[in-house]
A and B are shown apart, each in its own frame.
Chain A
Amino acid sequence: MCGIAGLIHRGRSGDIGREMTSMLQALKHRGPDSAGFALYGKPDPDRQIMRFKVAEQEDLAKGFKIHQQMRDRKATVDARLAELGATVEQEDQATEYAYRYIFKFDGDLKRLADYLEDIEDVEILSLGHALELVKDLGDAGRVSEQYGLGAFQGTHGIGHTRMATESDVDIRSAHPYWAYPFNDVAVVHNGQLTNYWGSRRALERRGHRFMSDCDSELIAVYVADRIARGDDLEAAMKRSIHEFDGVFTYLVATSDSLGMAKDVMAAKPMVLYESDEIIALASEEVAIRSVFPHEIDTFDPYEGEVRVWQS
């Protein structure tokens, strides 16, 4: 089933970490397998923020050498960053297997991403000037606490609670997906794409990489590909409505905007609240109510509808 949510403050920052945690926790019944956040802080054009992992959570239960392997992988990441000329200014370890780096780098971002992900079991969760993507197993409250997201200040965010249906319960199959290799683009999705493999092969032929077999990742890569080919976010999303087959509602966030798209059958839910200060979207109104307990006017976007808002 899965639940998705998004929130954008217009022209200001807010308690986006706490607000997204609250919304996603209210959607826990739609999917307790994993939860994920793509949060957008104040962009720093001179620095990159990278979230990455060096193992899956389940790997910790396997073998005798996993801790040494994780240390080795992290050391290799450090060495390769240095080799490419990146200067790491801040390093945080969120969990045994997940890290957050802030570094300066003005080279080819795709080359950097490819070089790091060439290390076995290393996956970049996000890379950008504002985006911080966190996802892990368990519900939103647990993941938020684990990664200390409650205090996160930012302009907007999207998130996901996952009920695994067509791929594994692991971090690589959890949402959101970063739109490799583009700065600050992330996607969450509720639904099924039935032309997944054909679309994936077409994108792979164009040089894109896929870390999972999850159809939601396809949306992130597709949108990123369209933006690279000159579409703006809204145009890319409108095109996707006709090129994707299946039932879906998805949200895309960039460094300064948030977009939603709904398939032509409107088969997956989305409730929308819009005011002069804030826009909130979720699979169920109860998620929006967790942030706005007072009476508000909400509505369902219609079939084939695409909307984009600026922060």
Chain B
Amino acid sequence: MAELSREQESHRMGMHTEQLAGRSQQIFFAPEEAENFASPDAFDVDFNKRGEFDVTEMTQNQINLKIRELMSQGYGTIVVQNPGAKHSLGVGILNRLQLYFEGSLGYFGCGLIDGPNVRISGRVGWSCAENMLSGTVVIEKNAGSTFGAAIRGGDLVCKGDVGSRTGIDMKGGSIIVGGRTGAFSGFMMQRGRMVILGDAGKNLGDSMYDGTIYVGGKIANLGVDAVEGEITDLDVRWLERKLAIYGLEAPDGARNMTKIVSGKKLWNYDNLEPMEKKMVL
């Protein structure tokens, strides 16, 4: 068989659907197109300009405003010390930015972001990175439930364990979990990829419309309309490449992971006309 072109490969893997994900994911990355990655309101920041501040005595509103103020002054690397599990930190950042949280976040951390690279040394509460459009969020410890709900793009990585309903309603991007996840992970998933290196709780992929879930450990049971798919060479290459970026490995190798896809027996977006699909997604 003739060698597949990169475009054919990506289509075979379903990667073309990624174009429906976050704004900056719609455009192939090239340095000369850097302006396409900036929101019209984005600040021009310098990654070598670093700001640090301790937020022990600050409210969540004050912290978010301080991050914005530093970005407006051109700081491209910001370190937030002692966030103390406060809620809704680092939300709504539509900017290129290296953002570090030294500690843990509460609920709704880093929601609605488009562009920043975030690292969190502690844990995150419920609904981390909800509706994330692009960028990366890497959590060193555990995460709560509804991790990455409705994300549309970017990489969301938790190196520890994650609660229930991980990636519920996700529409693109990648969620990577170093440990286990709880029940109903991938519930109503529509696009994107989820990688779970540990065990997955019950009803995995329940009512998923599309997208792919890879599991390295045991699956308690599959949800409605979630079925096992065949791991291909392309899957293996994608997994190895993606996991290596974050210093992770599949416990028994990428080839031995279990791949879960939609059985498409339930009502599915693919029943819609293309224009309707665009409107819905």
A-side interface residues toward B, CB under 8 Å?
264-267, 269, 271, 284-286, 288-289, 293, 295, 297-300, 302-303
CA distance A84 to B104 in the complex (A): 55
- Give the contacts of B75-96 with A (CB-CB under 8 A): 84-87
- Give the contacts of B84-119 with A (CB-CB under 8 A): 84-87, 103-104, 106-107
Pick from A286, A295, A302: contact of B86, CB under 8 Å? A286
- The reply to whether B202 and A285 contact each other, CB–CB distance below 8 Å, is no
Pick from B125, B141, B142, B161: contact of A284, CB under 8 Å? B125
B-side interface residues toward A, CB under 8 Å?
56, 84-87, 103-104, 106-107, 121-123, 125-126, 141-142, 144-145, 160-161, 163-165, 182-184, 201-202
Q: Is the interface of B mostly helix, strand, loop or mixed?
A: loop
CB-CB nearest in chain B for A301: B163
- The reply to whether A298 and B123 contact each other, CB–CB distance below 8 Å, is yes
- Taking the closest CB of chain B, its distance from the CB of A268, in whole angstroms, is 10
CA distance A262 to B160 in the complex (A): 21
A285-B85, A298-B104, A298-B123 given; A269·B164 CB < 8 A: no
- The reply to whether A265 and B183 contact each other, CB–CB distance below 8 Å, is yes
- The reply to whether A295 and B125 contact each other, CB–CB distance below 8 Å, is no
- The reply to whether A285 and B183 contact each other, CB–CB distance below 8 Å, is no
- The reply to whether A266 and B164 contact each other, CB–CB distance below 8 Å, is yes
Q: Which residues of B contact A266 (CB under 8 A)?
A: 145, 163-165, 182-183
Q: Which residues of A contact B84 (CB under 8 A)?
A: 286, 289, 293
Pick from B121, B163, B202: contact of A300, CB under 8 Å? B163
Q: Is the interface of A mostly helix, strand, loop or mixed?
A: loop
- The reply to whether A303 and B202 contact each other, CB–CB distance below 8 Å, is yes
A269-B145, A295-B103, A300-B144 given; A284·B85 CB < 8 A: yes
Pick from A264, A271, A293, A302: contact of B125, CB under 8 Å? A271
Q: Which residues of B contact A288 (CB under 8 A)?
A: 85
Pick from A269, A298, A303: contact of B142, CB under 8 Å? A298
- Taking the closest CB of chain A, its distance from the CB of B148, in whole angstroms, is 15
Q: Which residues of B contact A286 (CB under 8 A)?
A: 84-87, 106
Question: Top 4 nearest A-B pairs by Cβ distance?
Answer: A285-B85, A266-B164, A300-B163, A303-B183
